Chains A and B, each alone.
Chain A
Amino acid sequence: MRGVGTPALSLLGLVSLWVVAAALSADPTVLPQPWALIGPFWDELRSGELLYHLGHTLLRVIWAFLLAMTLGCLLGLAMGRSERVNQWLDPWLVVFLNLPALVLIVLCYLWIGLTEAAAIAAVTLNKVPNVTTVIREGARALSPDLDALAGVYRLPLMDRMRHVVLPQLAPFMAAASRSGIAVIWKIVLVVEFLGRSSGVGFQIHLYFQLFDVGMVLVYAFSFIAVMLAVEWLILQPWERRVRRWRLA
């Protein structure tokens, strides 16, 4: 009870702050009361609009996440393992780490066009440098003893990756994906805001132009709920599974 009590109480505090602020502003067009959102949420859900846009955003998040993790892991592994590769790619990494997300998004749209591919490429490119940085640290910390072991017994590359390298990288991959998924969905919303005609970001753009704070909040909270579900139902169980050997 104690473990659940504090976060629940803290969330309750946030909601009461909202209620007080809404009461003080006394203008539902600026900040509606939490319960005033239930009606619009229900309508949006029943019409299918909400699920349609949530689905599109989620699909983009999944694509960008998988691409960014794959590319970031490959690059990070190469850079962490080889000082030479690192020397060549490190300046690029610094450039891309410091390139504002907005610039990448705009350039992708300008160069590739207002397409799905451009949207996903923009998000992926924004996330790859962070994943690379984290995984590179993991690759640098790989055990030379286990390397020697794999070498002497001539482990095939796939076995080596699966049973020797990836378990060592798992904590770094978990860190990269936990911080990554949150950043990715925020960037996906910006990408949708700027150049897509579906998704949560597009809807927020629409309701922003209509000055409808309530609907902006409905979409924002719906997506936060989706991401919480991903965290609890996918990421955390996966992490527990790969950490099993530590706790045994």
Chain B
Amino acid sequence: MIKVDIREKSFAGTTVLGRIQFTLGQGERLAVLGPSGVGKSTLLRIVAGIDRKFSGDVDRPARMGVVFQEPTLLPWRTALQNLTLIHRGLTEQAATEALARVGIADKAALFPAQLSLGQQRRLSLARAFAGAPEFLVMDEPFVSLDPEMAEEMMRLTETLIAETRPALMLVTHARPEAERLTERIVHLSGRPAVLHPETKDHLRCVTN
């Protein structure tokens, strides 16, 4: 059970996020849509526990997974070590299986720089799911990909979600992604930004 209750978040006196509340049950999937610059990444960083300087409370499970915009790998460790070092309980065999699920089992001994960008993204996905997360957070995971690769990654993500069934918060500005991967869509807009449920013309109810 994930419970988010943010009263306010500000940077240098400017309030960026207003009151934001939502809960996610086991396996529930939520997408946060919004234009760039509205504070989506700020919200994600608070929910994921990266940013702790805000007023409010966030309850999240210990077993988290995260997929950043960039692969964000440890360049000085091999693909396999990128899984086993992050997930300390993971055996080498389990890590190899995790690599196999994203189709890069043969790259286990290579350093990230020796992988193609697509393979790096697969590794990043494998890392997110390897710990069997109860809660997965994804930050514009397909934003800089060409349509073909985005489609491929999306299909892989769908498969992995179906296997692991984590609660999911997806932050994106692309509606089709949100519709495919999640069951509930909310919009982040306004200044300070707050969440609005999906309506036909959601932009009209900006003020709180």
Give me the interface of A with B, judged by CB distance under 8 Å. Answer: 145-146, 148-149, 151-156, 159, 163-164, 167, 242, 245-246, 248
Contact = CB atoms under 8 A, between A and B. Distances in A.
27 contacts: A145-B68, A145-B70, A145-B72, A146-B72, A149-B72, A149-B86, A151-B49, A152-B49, A152-B50, A153-B64, A153-B66, A153-B86, A153-B87, A153-B131, A154-B62, A155-B86, A159-B85, A163-B74, A163-B77, A163-B81, A164-B74, A242-B76, A245-B76, A246-B113, A248-B110, A248-B111, A248-B114
A145 B70 CA distance: 9
Interface string B163-203: 00000000000000000000000000000000000000000
Contacts of A152: 48-50, 64, 66, 137
Nearest to A145: B72
Contacts of A154: 62, 64
Interface of B: 45, 48-50, 62, 64, 66, 68, 70, 72, 74-77, 81, 85-88, 110-111, 113-114, 131, 137
Contacts of B87: 153
A149 B68 contact: yes
A153 B82 CA distance: 12
B103 to A, nearest CB: 21
A109 B66 CA distance: 56
Given A145-B70, A148-B72, A152-B137, 6 more contacts: A146-B72, A149-B86, A245-B75, A245-B76, A245-B111, A246-B113
B88 A159 contact: yes
Contacts of A164: 74
A246 B85 CA distance: 19
Contacts of A145: 68, 70, 72
A145 B86 CA distance: 14
A152 B75 CA distance: 18
Nearest to A154: B62
Contacts of B49: 151-152
Contacts of A248: 110-111, 113-114
A151 B50 contact: yes
Nearest to B74: A163
Nearest to A170: B76
A205 B38 CA distance: 71
A48 to B, nearest CB: 45
A245 B113 contact: yes
B136 to A, nearest CB: 11
Contact of B74 (A148, A151, A156, A167): A167
Contacts of B64: 152-154
A161 to B, nearest CB: 12
A145, A151, A152, A159 — most chain B CB neighbours (10 Å)? A152
Task: List 8 tightest A-B contacts by C-beta distance, closest first.
Answer: A167-B76, A245-B76, A148-B50, A152-B66, A245-B111, A248-B111, A145-B72, A153-B86
A182 B68 CA distance: 43
Nearest to A153: B86
A149 B49 CA distance: 10
Contacts of B72: 145-146, 148-149
